[in-house]
Homo-oligomer: A and B are copies of this chain.
């Protein structure tokens, strides 16, 4: 129990809360703040990095300003401004959707793709990689549980990847195309592991 003695946040606010719960919250906050500081790099700021790396990782139905806004937990207005900044820096292009006149599609430019691969968050990843495997597993589950619980409390949708979605229908063995029953669209094999704004857990 070195950790809890080391970072002492002993102010117990509700007696029902276990003593180490506030410590976990504190550590998550401080880690996030550290990465935030790290993410003022390459002329981008944290919000811009978030949007850029989201767009590098979402499937082709989730590359809209609205999806970015929801992913960033920001209002549409705020997200729109961040997208303006990325567009001004020629990392991103807005194009009208051919299907629907009120939808805008976002595409990274080659420069944007290149930059997205250099996300400063890698430092956090590297730190996580040094942990023993069993601990990583416990953290993964714990963090995921915390996130889904908080999101449920806010009533917003949690963003997942296609192949864990209840609208996903895998193609036959060896088949490289799949099907989304919600959008009624063909999915490429590469879409399987991409973030989708319409994701609903199976």
Is the Cβ of A140 less than 8 Å from the Cβ of B3?
A: yes
Is the Cβ of A140 less than 8 Å from the Cβ of B8?
A: no
| Among A89-97, A98-106, A148-156, A176-184, the stretch in contact with B | A148-156
Is the Cβ of A136 less than 8 Å from the Cβ of B130?
A: no
Which residue of chain B has its CB nearest to the CB of A123? B150
Q: How large is the interface on A (under 10, 10 to 19, 20 to 34, 35 or more residues)?
A: 35 or more
Is the Cβ of A37 less than 8 Å from the Cβ of B73?
A: yes
Is the Cβ of B147 less than 8 Å from the Cβ of A34?
A: yes
Is the Cβ of B129 less than 8 Å from the Cβ of A33?
A: no
- Is there a chain B Cβ closer than 8 Å to A172's Cβ? no
Is the Cβ of B136 less than 8 Å from the Cβ of A142?
A: yes
Is the Cβ of B121 less than 8 Å from the Cβ of A25?
A: yes
Q: Which residues of B contact A125 (CB under 8 A)?
A: 13, 17, 21-22, 24-25
Which residue of chain B has its CB nearest to the CB of A139? B142
Q: Which residues of B contact A20 (CB under 8 A)?
A: 128, 136-137, 140
Q: Which residues of B contact A124 (CB under 8 A)?
A: 24-25, 28-29, 146, 150
Q: Which residues of B contact A73 (CB under 8 A)?
A: 33-34, 36-37
Pick from B2, B11, B128: contact of A24, CB below 8 A.
B128
Q: Which residues of B contact A142 (CB under 8 A)?
A: 128, 131, 135-136, 138-139
Within the assembled complex, what's the spacing in Å between the Cα atoms of A29 and B72? 10
Known: A57-B9, A128-B146, A142-B131. A29 touches B32 (CB 8 A): yes
Within the assembled complex, what's the spacing in Å between the Cα atoms of A1 and B193? 15
Given contacts A13-B117, A17-B126, A24-B139, 9 further A-B contacts (CB under 8 A): A25-B124, A28-B31, A29-B35, A37-B74, A128-B142, A128-B146, A130-B145, A131-B145, A139-B142
A to B CB contacts below 8 Å, 14 in the list = A1-B137, A6-B160, A10-B161, A16-B129, A18-B133, A21-B129, A22-B128, A24-B128, A25-B122, A28-B124, A127-B146, A127-B150, A128-B146, A130-B149
